[in-house]
Amino acid sequence: MNEKRFTLANRLIHWGIAFTFLYLMLTVFLRIGWMNKGGMAQTIQHNLAEKSLTVDDDTARGVAGAIRHPMWETHELAGYVILGLFIIRLIITFTQGAAFPNPFKKDVSGKDKFKSWVYIVFYVLLAMSLISALLMEFGPGSIHHEMEELHEKGTVYMIAFIVIHTAGVLLAETGKERGIISKMISGDK
């Protein structure tokens, strides 16, 4: 088993990325669900109508957007946090070595190759999400829409990775790698 993944630096970065990742997902789900601009606009119009007040759809949507704007600013802030954590993860990987085996080596088991590829694909897709977000914010307006679509598709890989990673950790914990969760928390061997 590769003990590099249980160093303090790796554990701190792992949990920092994990909690930031989950927060980003929460803000996405709030934006498309409970705090959906259209749904919020209808709620605003309905509540105002009960008081014999009316506003047009555009005004209600504007108010809804203003209500959820501070929440979305925290999504953007969390994006910068995960960008910083990602850069630190790259630095740790280049200085301490990867926390997972090289999937191109012949002596690596199929299971370890799969785990390694899951992480490699995750970090490549995370890099694409971060780059697309930066291009939406700082790139030319002509590519904003394409970058926004690419960035939004990242939700699919986020969910897939969370499911695969959680299932893998639970299988490892109940199989040959008992104690892996406590090692990832405390670093104890």
Q: Which domain holds residue 29?
A: 3-186
Query: How does residue 1 score in pLDDT terms, banded at 50, 70 and 90?
Result: very low
Task: Give me the DSSP letters along 65-105.
Answer: HHHHHHHHHHHHHHHHHHHHHHHHHHHHHHHH--SS--TTS
Domain count, the chain: 1
Biggest CA-to-CA distance, the chain: 74
Query: How does residue 29 score in pLDDT terms, banded at 50, 70 and 90?
Result: very high
pLDDT for the residue numbered 2: 52
Query: What are the pLDDT digits (tens) for 137-156?
Result: 999 999 999 999 999 988 88
pTM: 0.88
For residue 71, count other CB atoms closer than 10 A to its CB.
Answer: 13
Residues 165 and 118 sit within 8 Å (Cβ to Cβ): yes
- List the CATH number of the domain containing 69: 1.20.950
Radius of gyration from C-alpha coordinates of the chain: 21
pLDDT for the residue numbered 10: 86
pLDDT for the residue numbered 189: 60
In the chain, the percentage of residues whose pLDDT exceeds 70 is 97
Query: What are the pLDDT digits (tens) for 31-50?
Result: 999 999 999 999 999 999 99
Query: What are the pLDDT digits (tens) for 65-91?
Result: 999 999 999 999 999 999 999 999 999
Query: What are the pLDDT digits (tens) for 92-147?
Result: 989 988 888 999 999 999 999 999 999 999 999 999 999 999 999 999 999 999 99
